[in-house]
């Protein structure tokens, strides 16, 4: 009871709820962003924008700065130079409760200190809305997020008893339940099987179609080509290329960026670019 | 944070996996049960002792005092009940509630089920302040001197442990326990120094106090810790929902709108308040803050909205029961309270360590 009173007293006040935007609005952007971590310059002047209604994929080799860029867009990391804006305002000017209404973040690995049930974990995503009118939608948001990620069947199980892939989907369900207009997903497909990879990127597309801005770090270039509106290719902390997958994914660029010869060819049915490493044909024994 | 999850791996299959427990509805009956048992134990504890007072007479006297009918006892009985037994029961309630609540908060803040004021040295730290104030004969704040000194020293210790045991936003079990050993050792040395400089009267006072006892409970003593304990207990549940989110890790909690730095600061202060309240009157009583939150988590799930107030309730229950046992088991002699709780708490801690190790597959 005291807790409820306290929440009513301290939460929800002076918080401006986000206003619905139009397609194409820039919800997060970095301008000339430089970030140093542990003495190393991880981002060396990157400019990128996440627009409402678009899926932006961040790709590049390991250590290229993808996750750092995502964390900077999430207002987790301070910029050493340049600026990050979320919904038009410098990231550092937002308070944590205000930001939570505007952007949801899926971390690379999902951890949990105590064995909460899956449904409780998903419900944590609704915490930012406590005390606002949107809190009335809590149950529906949780239910829909769990249905979309197909985690309903183990809703009552403790999170700690799930497999890696199941945990990843529960974490995504939590992020979806938050219903923020900006979604930042760090390798959401890394632990998932084929079906669920498609499912997750399908969700990204749906959210973009519904007017959200989605930024997603991906390793699978085929997935990026099939689902992203725009792709930003990072290498060594700078942007090597940015644009529609069909324009950006070319053999010469990708081979250089990944230091691995690749082949790019249009898919025979859909025409989307397919990227595979260049391998010598298997010799029969 | 590493205790219950391993990257990408499935934890050892347990019965829970097959039979999902519906723990959602467990909180309410559990609270009711705890309250009922607690009230009964308090009344029993007020009646049992060298001068026995029947349960009905205890109730009648309490009724009389609060103006709800009933009847007073004879002069001796009234004096025993109101000047000896009841302050002791109230003190046990305060100390137990403080310790239980502090344990639940610490485990939440550290994201680690092994955190406990006694185990990681907060109690010892607070004890240094209390012992020093006795040994140096300080009395600048009257009755509150010991409590305030315990609070200041306890606060410094929490901050120290927190800074020392966290690395990259998480606390590993080994680091936490080893930090606790170091802090306990250092605090032990400081207490030893204080003992060295204390005179005989102070020496026996300190020694007795250190073992953990509520034997010298008086109303002024109750008043001395009441503000600390009540303030801590009132503020603690306000952070319950945020503690739930903190279980996801610091960054995800921030993504969900928690001002992690502020939360941490508030909770560290609250833990110091609660521990100081308990240590100042009862000495070092260990394991209550470890045992109670654990049992409740098993019974009603890890949600802090029940766990934090529930642990206060459970802690009070354990402490009243332990105090009753301490003064009746070997009557007319009295067992030190700290000895009793450690006797039952240590095996539990040992079991917990084994279980944690098994789940994690080693410490390294």
Residue of B nearest to A115 (CA): B302
A150 lies in the same domain as A200: no
pLDDT (average), residues A202-222: 94
CA B121 – CA B188 distance, rounded (Å) = 10
Selected residue with higher pLDDT from A136 and B205: A136
Phi, psi for residue B166 in degrees, rounded to 5: -100, 140
What is the mean pLDDT of the segment spanning B78-88? 89
**Which candidate, B323, B276, B316, places its Cα nearest to that of B296?**
B316
Length of chain B measured in residues: 364
Q: Which of residues 3-22 of A touch B (CB under 8 A)?
A: 3, 6-7, 10
H or E segment to which residue A46 belongs = strand A40-51
Residues A252 and A222 in one domain: yes
Q: Which of A99, A160, A178 sits opposite B11 (nearest CB)?
A: A160
Please answer yes or no on whether B113 and A114 come within 8 Å at the CB atom: yes
Can you tell me the mean pLDDT for B162-184?
78
At residue B89, the pLDDT reads 94
- What SS3 state is found at A104? strand
Q: Which of residues 186-245 of A touch B (CB under 8 A)?
A: 191
Query: What would be the CATH architecture of the domain defined by B37-360?
Result: Orthogonal Bundle (1.10)
Chain A, chain B: beta-carbon pairs less than 8 Å apart: 123
The arithmetic mean of pLDDT across residues A262-267, rounded, is 90
pLDDT at A14: 52
Report pTM: 0.84
Q: What is the mean pLDDT of residues A99-127?
A: 91
Whether A239 and A256 map to the same domain: the answer is yes
pLDDT confidence band for B2 (50 / 70 / 90): very low
Average pLDDT of the residues in B350-362: 72
Between the alpha carbon of residue A94 and those of residues A78, A84, A89, B12, B256, the distances in Å are 13, 11, 8, 42, 13
Confidence band for B169, pLDDT divided at 50, 70 and 90: low
CATH of the domain at A204: 3.40.50.300
The domain tally of chain A equals: 2
pLDDT band at B230 (very low <50, low <70, confident <90, very high): very high
Domain boundary among A155, A179, A203: A179
| pLDDT in the model for residue B16 | 37
β-pair partners for B73:
none
Query: Would you kindly state where each structural domain of chain B is located, as residue ranges?
Result: 37-360
Closest partner residue to B256 (CB to CB) among A10, A100, A191 is A100
- Report which of B329, B248, B280, B326 is spatially closest to residue B145, judged by C-alpha positions: B280
Which of B9, B256, B303 lies nearest to residue A164, judging by beta carbons?
B9
Please enumerate in sequence order all residues whose Cβ is within 8 A of that of A103, keeping only pairs 6 or more positions apart, or say none: A27, A28, A73, A74, A75, A86, A180, A181, A182, A183, A184, B255
Is A281 part of any domain?
no
Å between A59 CA and nearest CA of chain B: 22
What's the pLDDT at B102?
Answer: 93
The burial class, CB within 10 Å (0-12 / 13-18 / 19+), for A274 is middle
If asked whether residues A95 and A226 sit together in one domain, one would say: yes
Task: Return the pLDDT at B299.
Answer: 85
Same domain for A160 and A254: no
**pLDDT score recorded for residue B12:** 40
Nearest CA in chain B to A73: B255
Looking at the structure, do residues A60 and A118 belong to the same domain, yes or no? no
Q: Residue A6 pLDDT more than 70?
A: no
A140 lies in a domain?
A: yes
Q: By C-alpha distance, which of B35, B24, B92, B96 is closest to B291?
A: B96
Show which of A128, A161, A179 is a domain's final residue: A179
Per-residue pLDDT band at B364 (split at 50, 70, 90): very low
At A83 the three-state DSSP class reads strand
Residues A198 and A266 in one domain: yes
Q: Which of A30, A39, A61, A80 is nearest to A262 (CA)?
A: A61
Query: What does the pLDDT average to over B135-164?
Result: 83
Contacts by B141-148, CB closer than 8 A, 24 or more apart = B143/B220, B143/B221, B143/B223, B143/B224, B144/B224, B146/B224, B146/B280, B147/B224, B147/B225, B147/B228, B147/B276, B147/B277, B147/B280, B147/B281, B148/B276
> Between vectors from CA B201 to CA B81 and to CA B324, what angle results, nearest 5°?
30
Q: Coil, strand, or helix at residue A265?
A: strand
Question: What is the band of B212 on the pLDDT scale with cuts at 50, 70, 90?
Answer: low
| Dist. CA B359–CA B173, nearest whole Å | 13
- B166: CB partners within 8 A, 6+ apart: none
CB A21 within 8 Å of CB A38: no
CA-based nearest distance A162→chain B, Å: 6
Reply yes or no on whether the pLDDT at B7 is more than 50: no
- From the list A96, A112, A164, the residue facing B257 with the nearest CB is A96
A84 and A138 housed in the same domain: no
pLDDT digit string, tens, across residues B291-326? 899 889 888 888 999 999 999 999 999 999 999 998
ipTM for the complex? 0.88
Check residues B13 and A254 and name the one with the higher pLDDT: A254
pLDDT at residue A285 above 80? no
Full DSSP string of A176-231? HHT--SEEEEESTTTT--HHHHHHHHHHHHHHHHTT-EEEEE-S-HHHHHHH-SEE
- Of chain B, the percentage scoring pLDDT greater than 90 comes to 26
Cα three-residue angle A26-A30-B256, rounded to 5 degrees? 75
* A3 with B16: Cβ contact below 8 A: no
* Cβ–Cβ below 8 Å for A116 and B255: no
Percent of chain A with pLDDT over 90: 66
B296: tokens are 């409740």
Is there a domain that residue A128 lies in?
Answer: yes
Mean pLDDT score, B77-93: 90
How far away is chain A from the Cα of B26, in angstroms, using its nearest Cα? 14
Which residues are A85's β-sheet partners?
A29, A90
Average pLDDT over residues B30-46: 93
Does some domain include residue A252? yes
Of the candidates A2, A100, A113, which has its C-beta nearest B4's C-beta?
A: A113
Q: Which of A152, A179, A206 is the last residue of a domain?
A: A179
Query: Considering chain B, what is the average pLDDT of its residues?
Result: 82
A127·B11 Cβ contact <8 A: no
A213, A142: one domain: no
- Report which of residues B85 and B205 the model is more confident about: B85
Residue A152 touches chain B, beta carbons under 8 Å = no
Q: Residues B90-141: pLDDT tens digits? A: 999 999 999 999 999 988 988 877 788 877 888 889 889 988 888 888 878 7
Mean pLDDT of chain A: 89
Burial class of residue B7 (count of CB atoms within 10 Å of its CB; 0-12, 13-18, 19+): exposed
A203 and A172 belong to one structural domain: no
Full domain range(s) for residue A84: 24-102+182-275
Question: A100-104, B63-67, B87-91 — which is least confidently predicted?
Answer: B63-67
Q: DSSP string spanning B161-199?
A: HHHHHEETTEE-HHHHHHHHHHHHHHHHHHHHHHHHHS-
Q: Give percent above pLDDT 70 in chain B.
A: 89
Q: Identify whether residues A216 and A242 lie together within a single domain.
A: yes
Work out the minimum CA distance from B168 to partner chain A, whole angstroms. 12
Residues A97 and A186 in one domain: yes
A90 in any annotated domain: yes
**Inside any domain, residue A12:** no
Higher-pLDDT residue of B60, A22: B60
**Spatial distance between the Cα atoms of A273 and A246, rounded to a whole number of angstroms:** 6
Model confidence at A144: pLDDT above 80: yes
Nearest chain A residue (CA) to B256: A100
Report the 10 Å Cβ neighbour count for B177: 18
Under DSSP, the state recorded for B236 is: G
Q: What is the DSSP string of A114-148?
A: S--BHHHHHHHTTGGGTTSGGGGGHHHHHHHHHHH
Per-residue pLDDT for B78 more than 90? no
Structure token pair of residue B175: 């680091």
CA distance A42 to B268: 34
3-state helix, strand, coil in chain B (%, to 5): 75, 0, 25
Q: CA-CA-CA-CA torsion for A38, A167, B255, B298, nearest 10 degrees?
A: -110
Structure tokens of B108? Answer: 């939440």
Please give the helix or strand (H or E) that residue A36 lies within, else none.
Answer: strand A26-37
Residue B210: pLDDT above 80? no
Q: Band the pLDDT of B196: cuts 50, 70, 90.
A: confident
């Amino acid at each position: 009871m005291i807790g409820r009173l306290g929440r009513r007293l301290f939460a929800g006040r002076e918080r401006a709820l986000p206003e619905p935007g139009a397609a194409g609005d820039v919800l997060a952007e970095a301008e000339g962003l430089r970030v140093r971590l542990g003495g190393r310059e991880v981002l060396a002047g990157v400019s990128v924008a996440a627009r409402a209604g678009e899926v932006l994929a961040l790709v590049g080799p390991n250590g290229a700065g993808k996750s750092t860029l995502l964390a900077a867009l999430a207002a987790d990391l301070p910029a050493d130079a340049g600026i990050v804006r979320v919904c038009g305002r410098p990231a550092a000017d937002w308070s944590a409760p205000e930001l939570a209404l505007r952007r949801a973040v899926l971390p690379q690995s999902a951890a949990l200190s105590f064995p909460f049930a899956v449904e409780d974990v998903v419900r944590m995503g609704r915490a930012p809305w406590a005390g606002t009118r949107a809190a009335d939608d809590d149950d529906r948001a949780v239910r829909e997020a769990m249905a979309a990620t197909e985690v309903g069947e183990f809703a009552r199980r403790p999170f700690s008893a799930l497999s890696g892939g199941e945990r990843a989907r529960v974490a995504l369900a939590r992020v979806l339940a938050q219903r923020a207009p900006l979604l930042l997903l760090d390798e959401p497909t890394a632990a998932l099987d084929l079906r669920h990879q498609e499912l997750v990127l399908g969700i990204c597309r749906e959210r973009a179609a519904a007017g959200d801005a989605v930024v997603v770090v991906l390793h699978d270039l085929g997935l990026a080509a099939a689902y992203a509106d725009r792709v930003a290719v990072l290498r060594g902390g700078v942007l090597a290329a940015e644009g529609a997958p069909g324009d950006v994914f070319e053999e010469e660029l990708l081979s250089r960026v990944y230091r691995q010869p690749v082949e790019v060819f249009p898919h025979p049915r859909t025409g989307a670019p397919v990227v595979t490493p260049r391998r010598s044909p298997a010799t029969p024994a | 944070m590493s205790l219950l999850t391993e990257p990408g791996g499935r934890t050892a299959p347990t019965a829970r996996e097959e039979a999902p427990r519906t723990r959602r509805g467990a909180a309410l009956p559990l609270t009711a049960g705890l309250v009922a048992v607690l009230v009964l134990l308090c009344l029993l504890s007020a009646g049992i002792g060298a001068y026995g007072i029947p349960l009905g007479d205890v109730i009648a006297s309490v009724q009389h005092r609060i103006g709800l009918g009933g009847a007073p006892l004879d002069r001796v009985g009234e004096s025993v009940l109101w000047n000896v037994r009841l302050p002791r029961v109230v003190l046990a309630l305060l100390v137990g509630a403080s310790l239980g609540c502090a344990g639940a908060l610490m485990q939440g803040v550290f994201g680690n089920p092994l955190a406990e004021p006694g185990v990681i040295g907060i109690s010892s730290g607070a004890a240094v302040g209390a012992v020093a104030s006795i040994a140096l004969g300080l009395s600048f704040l009257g009755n509150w001197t010991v409590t305030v000194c315990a609070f200041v020293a306890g606060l410094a210790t929490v901050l120290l442990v927190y800074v020392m045991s966290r690395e990259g936003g998480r606390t590993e079990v080994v680091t936490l326990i080893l930090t606790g050993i170091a802090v306990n050792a250092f605090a032990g040395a400081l207490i030893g120094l204080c003992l060295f400089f204390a005179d005989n009267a102070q020496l026996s006072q300190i020694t007795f106090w250190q073992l953990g006892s509520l034997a010298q409970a008086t109303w002024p003593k109750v008043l001395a810790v009441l503000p600390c304990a009540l303030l801590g207990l009132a503020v603690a549940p306000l952070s319950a929902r945020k503690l739930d989110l903190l279980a996801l890790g610091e960054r995800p909690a921030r993504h969900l709108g928690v001002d992690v730095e502020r939360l941490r600061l508030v909770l560290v202060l609250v833990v110091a308040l609660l521990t100081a309240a308990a240590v100042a009157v009862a000495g070092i009583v260990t394991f209550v803050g470890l045992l109670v939150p654990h049992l409740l988590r098993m019974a009603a799930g890890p949600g802090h909205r029940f766990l934090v107030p529930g642990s206060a309730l459970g802690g009070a229950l354990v402490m009243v029961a332990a105090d009753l046992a301490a003064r009746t088991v070997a009557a007319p002699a009295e067992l030190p309270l700290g000895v009793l709780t450690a006797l039952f708490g240590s095996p539990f801690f040992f079991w917990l360590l084994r279980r944690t190790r098994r789940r994690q597959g080693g410490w390294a």
